[in-house]
Chain A
């Protein structure tokens, strides 16, 4: 396949996949279970999810490795399974996409705070990310996706760990911003501008935002990113804030809204559009449709 960055350079818009967690729960993951154990116990579920998103039109499919760094896995007593969990996650996606989509190695936050705010040192956090990244790149992912970050130092450590594990494999890095009266900031107080600058300096090839409070905010976030950096942008929005209806989890933003807002994201200069929590293959289909009509109109 043609390298992702080359396609972006040509002005192509790429579609990424949707929610992993939401899909896992639909397929039987129990509350409180470590989502990454499924890689070892039920790999067929991961193959199904990858296939569902591929068929919906996604061409970047993520691995179920969001919490598969050794520091995360230690909480479940599975630190020593780091390599196996990451490797199997990649091979599940590979089996389903059969070269028709890029495999994106997902890496989420450690859940720990760095010193002096918490008790983790930057060295040990780097080593934790590095071990996961090494497992991902040796299993042949096409791209790494550092995502849902709120702490910039942690995010840059993850990006550097990926680049140390493989300088060639491109790295996407996204953070989660809240809207405050003074603009968008992460919980740790990181502005979009600062995120864009520091992530680029750490070596990220693509930057942007994921998760959050719905796709309308994401359009504003994308505009601000575009004013802050020349790097390609990635946006993966939640389908709104989760609500509970009759005891079931419900995300209010429809595929229709995603189709509409995809146009705004493209206008804002976003190169890769996908979804986060609550986005189903239907949302991805909607994004795909909007992206296609845009690409045809420019041909």
Chain B
């Protein structure tokens, strides 16, 4: 089996030690970092994302695969930067103010990183201004907001209001997700997209960034 395929398979098995060793070897073999990323790490995470989407695996499997992905990504990051390889784009994510639930947001972060995006994770309980300021400073084109609580979801609208007031809605797109949300809610508050799960979030971000 070719080494990149091996990396992909090790990611799917959540074997972080193998991914670390194999990535190191692939770099030593002078395989271009971008190829290791695309055909090793991203390939593995794509398969994991797909299986998760179809309920073939569950959250623990995704989290272990992510840990394995980071074991390779940490080595590749500096090389990708050195090679001047642009990422797929920057995305700022976080649960909105008052919401301390970050499991879903973390999952979205993992899937986005696994798809080659630069993710700026603001932690949890993120104030509306912080979303906008970070996106502006970092040059991120997407803000992703999550809420698990019906009580915190109205905060999403505040973020969109700030973007509108600063005439940023063309430059910065918004995507929302979380158990109590819906497409209808996204429309009501003026968010660009509602993502119903983590895999759908990645697809939607890809589409938004191409616009």
* A249 and B150 contacting across the interface, CB-CB below 8 Å: yes
Chain B residues with CB under 8 Å of A180's CB are 55
- List CB contacts (< 8 Å) of B23-70 with chain A: 54-55, 57-61, 63-64, 67
A299 at the B interface (CB under 8 A): no
* B188 and A244 contacting across the interface, CB-CB below 8 Å: yes
B161 at the A interface (CB under 8 A): no
- List CB contacts (< 8 Å) of B75-111 with chain A: 97-101, 103
* A31 and B55 contacting across the interface, CB-CB below 8 Å: no
Distance of A63 Cα from B125 Cα, bound (Å): 25
* B101 and A31 contacting across the interface, CB-CB below 8 Å: no
* B55 and A185 contacting across the interface, CB-CB below 8 Å: yes
Chain A residues with CB under 8 Å of B99's CB are 32
Contact stretch, chosen from B168-176, B178-186, B199-207: B178-186
Main secondary structure, interface of B, reads loop
A6 at the B interface (CB under 8 A): no
Number of chain A interface residues as a range:
20 to 34
Contact stretch, chosen from B114-122, B130-138, B151-159: B151-159
Cross-chain contact of A181 among B55, B150, B184 (Cβ < 8 A): B55
* B180 and A247 contacting across the interface, CB-CB below 8 Å: no
* B63 and A113 contacting across the interface, CB-CB below 8 Å: yes
Number of chain B interface residues as a range:
20 to 34
A87: shortest Cβ distance to chain B, in Å? 23
A195: shortest Cβ distance to chain B, in Å? 13
Give the residue name and chain of the A residue nearest to B62 (CB). A117
A282: shortest Cβ distance to chain B, in Å? 19
Chain B residues with CB under 8 Å of A244's CB are 182, 184-185, 188
Chain B residues with CB under 8 Å of A187's CB are 58-59, 103
B40: shortest Cβ distance to chain A, in Å? 22
Distance of A111 Cα from B149 Cα, bound (Å): 13
* A32 and B97 contacting across the interface, CB-CB below 8 Å: yes
Q: Mark B140-166, 1 if CB is under 8 A from A, else 0.
A: 000000000111111100000000000
Give the residue name and chain of the A residue nearest to B185 (CB). A244
- List CB contacts (< 8 Å) of A235-287 with chain B: 241-244, 247, 249, 277
- Contact surface of B with A, Cβ cutoff 8 Å: 54-55, 57-61, 63-64, 67, 97-101, 103, 125, 149-155, 180, 182, 184-185, 188
